[in-house]
Amino acid sequence: MTTGLLLVQILNGLQFGILLFLVAAGLTLVFGVMDFINLAHGVQYMLGAYLAVTFVALTGSFVLGLVLALAAALVFGLALEFLVFRHLYERDHLDQVLATFGLILLLNQGVKIIWGAAPLSVPVPEFLSGNVALLDGILYPTYRFALIGAGLAVGLLLWFVVDRTRTGMLLRAGASNAPMVSALGVDIRKLFMIVFAFGTMLAGFAGAMAAPILSVEPGMGDTVLILAFVVIVIGGIGSIRGAFVAALIVGLVDTLGRSFMNDLLRLFMSAPSARATGAALSSMLIYLLMAVVLFLRPEGLLPSRGRT
Amino acid sequence: MSTAPALAETVAAPAPRRRGRLLLPILLFGLLALAPLAVSLGMPSGWLALLTRAMIFAIAALSLDLILGVGGLVSFGHAAFLGIGAYVTGIMITEGQAEALLILPVVLGICALFAAITGAICLRTRGVTFIMITLAFGQMVYFLAQALSAYGGDDGLTLYAKSTIAGLDLFSTRTGFFYCVLAALAGCYALVRILVASRFGRILRAARENPVRVSVTGFDVTRIRLVAYVISGMVAGIAGFFLANHTDFVSPAFMSWQRSGELIFMAVLGGVGSLHGAIIGAIAYLIAEDGLSHLTEHWRVIFGPLIILFVLFTRGGIVGMLRKLGGGGGA
């Protein structure tokens, strides 16, 4: 394992972590403020990717397509809020899990009907299609750098909105005591809708940004959803900072584990058994990490303040 | 325990209700036992296989109902136990050991071990975190099965023999297998029902309503929940054993998280916490799935909205509706 390869894999891990953060941030906000467990969040990520496929092909421009896809994802998310989620806020978690599970079945299959089961892709935009030379002449795609940059920018924006604006203040207040915020005269329904719209946009943005580097296919949201759960649990539910730190950790551990576990194990055992164990161990690594974190800190690494 | 009969004598009202509660399960098992007869009288023979499959899932849904309905713990990784049971069975049969009396103890042991370890970690959390963690552990087992390249990996493992019970080849005929599954279902149902009615079950139920009060009363809530979790996992492992024998095939898909979601829906569809509700729910689910998938390959487009409508507009599931009907008729 050379330094160059390590560097590339660390960048891959960061980029994966940023993607996870975008999905997990929306999920943890929705859960933290509304006490609402939204399994359909992963489907909204998938939808963002599919909409990007359609709109980029339609307009011929990546940026324009991205904007249109985001708008469409937002409209769709608000429609879902109006039709389904709104009626579930008062229900227990079991009902929320089931209803959003039903949504996953519907939308995964619906996507198959509309776009077909074959994987689709979005071309990498022209102005980001080059490579950046890292040390000793190793190239790394510009688009992946752009993805990391965009994710960091969104993270910064989120921090600003949540920590420095009035809406963010209400959000934090809502997360620690929603009935009290409502009693103080804030329209909690409107606040919920803003949070929800925000979360949907983030998931859709992540999906659209991932479309050029991942294959766009039905069910792509499910994997991300479960990883986002792991991120939220490790980071502490309702905490954006926790989600950010945990997403980077999960992204790095998963990527580095998959690429270097074999070599690491080969120090102790023969090549075939190292390959078999490595494959099993590297796919289980983040779950083991989660188990260890929970065993030591059941509240997560950085639990949000004010929650009990 | 000694106060319970005395209470039943002083309060006259619950007695007929208790008899009414037994009526539905007896009716249910009676109807199931007659199913092979109905098939020999001219029902399509595919029904027997469908009902067998439904009863296998009923065992799993029943086990889930013990922790979900009675204990109030929403586990989203229950398919893992189903998968572990199926994989242990599949691997042992592939290695030439088809005797159920040897397979079942191993299935039960491994499921208990897995439940004890993951349960000890999961039960440190509650609410939504519990849902997410059970889900994540379920995924962990799923990926482990995918990585088992010696036993098929992602493609799954085809079995070329069925289990025998004490050397007897009971699983080779459809009717024989049907009655074996029915017997297992009845046994598991009786076990879980006795458990729920016992002191242990009452504490478990009380902990669902108010864990703080129960722990202040002097019970170790986490330990009681852990015991329930382990038992539930073992019963689901039995379902896995039968599932492997039913399909002659095991694959990681047995324990995908969608399967866990389906198990939850089965338990809720029937009426959560009522045990026979889980059985009715599982049968209703599989029949609906079978019917819709004959209708169109995109049956999930119909099924998904049905689940949403069911959650939004009904309470208490099928058993709740039956009870309402029965109550209305009786009054």
Nearest by CB to B308, which of A37, A84, A233?
A84
Q: What count of CB pairs under 8 Å joins A to B?
A: 129
Angle (nearest 5°) at CA B328 between B325 and B329: 85
Q: Which residue of A has its CA nearest to B137?
A: A287
Position A205 pLDDT exceeds 90? yes
Residues of B in contact with A110 (CB under 8 A): 301
Q: In this predicted structure, what is the pLDDT of residue B19?
A: 56
Q: In this predicted structure, what is the pLDDT of residue B172?
A: 86
Q: In this predicted structure, what is the pLDDT of residue B78?
A: 95
**CA B7 vs CA B17, B23, B198: distances in Å:** 14, 22, 15
Q: In this predicted structure, what is the pLDDT of residue B9?
A: 39
- What tens digit of pLDDT does each residue of A18-50 get? 999 999 998 988 888 788 889 999 999 999 999
Mean of pLDDT values over B147-168: 87
When scoring A20, A94, A100, A282 by the number of chain B Cβ atoms within 10 A, the one with the most, hence best to mutate, is: A94
Residues of B in contact with A31 (CB under 8 A): 128
Q: In this predicted structure, what is the pLDDT of residue A208?
A: 93
A105: closest CA of chain B, how far (Å): 5
Mean of pLDDT values over A141-153: 91
Q: In this predicted structure, what is the pLDDT of residue B5?
A: 43
Q: In this predicted structure, what is the pLDDT of residue B6?
A: 41
Q: Given an 8 Å threshold on Cβ–Cβ distance, is B136 in contact with A233?
A: yes
Higher pLDDT, A128 or B216: B216
Position B217 pLDDT exceeds 80? yes
Mean of pLDDT values over A250-255: 94
What percent of chain B stands above pLDDT 90?
Answer: 53
Q: In this predicted structure, what is the pLDDT of residue B14?
A: 43
What is the CB neighbour count within 10 angstroms for residue A153? 10
**Are B87 and B151 within 8 A, CB to CB?**
yes
Mean of pLDDT values over A218-245: 89
User: What contacts A299, CB < 8 A, 6 or more positions away?
Assistant: A236
Residues of A in contact with B125 (CB under 8 A): 233, 294, 298
Q: In this predicted structure, what is the pLDDT of residue B327?
A: 60
Domains parsed from chain A with CATH numbers: 3-296 (1.10.3470)
Q: In this predicted structure, what is the pLDDT of residue B1?
A: 39
Mean of pLDDT values over B233-258: 94
Higher pLDDT, B168 or B203: B203
Q: In this predicted structure, what is the pLDDT of residue B252?
A: 92
- Reported ipTM: the value is 0.85
Residues of A in contact with B145 (CB under 8 A): none
Q: How far apart are CA B272 and CA B257, in angstroms?
A: 20
Mean of pLDDT values over B41-50: 84
Q: In this predicted structure, what is the pLDDT of residue A305?
A: 60
The structure tokens listed for B271 are 């009426």
Q: How far apart are CA B250 and CA B146, in angstroms?
A: 11
Q: How far apart are CA B69 and CA B81, in angstroms?
A: 18
Mean of pLDDT values over A177-193: 85
Given pLDDT bands bounded at 50, 70 and 90, which one contains residue B331?
very low
Q: In this predicted structure, what is the pLDDT of residue B315?
A: 73
Q: Given an 8 Å threshold on Cβ–Cβ distance, is A276 in contact with B301?
A: no
Given pLDDT bands bounded at 50, 70 and 90, which one contains residue A1?
low
- What tens digit of pLDDT does each residue of B269-309 get? 888 888 889 999 999 999 999 999 888 888 889 989 999 99
User: What contacts B233, CB < 8 A, 6 or more positions away?
Assistant: B63, B78, B81, B111, B112, B114, B115, B119
- What tens digit of pLDDT does each residue of A288-297 get? 898 888 888 8
Q: Given an 8 Å threshold on Cβ–Cβ distance, is B147 in contact with A279?
A: yes
Residues of A in contact with B268 (CB under 8 A): 94, 98
- What tens digit of pLDDT does each residue of A66-85 get? 999 999 999 999 999 999 99
Boundaries of every domain in chain B: 47-256
φ/ψ of B164, rounded to 5, equals: -115, 155
Given pLDDT bands bounded at 50, 70 and 90, which one contains residue B76?
very high
Given pLDDT bands bounded at 50, 70 and 90, which one contains residue B13?
very low
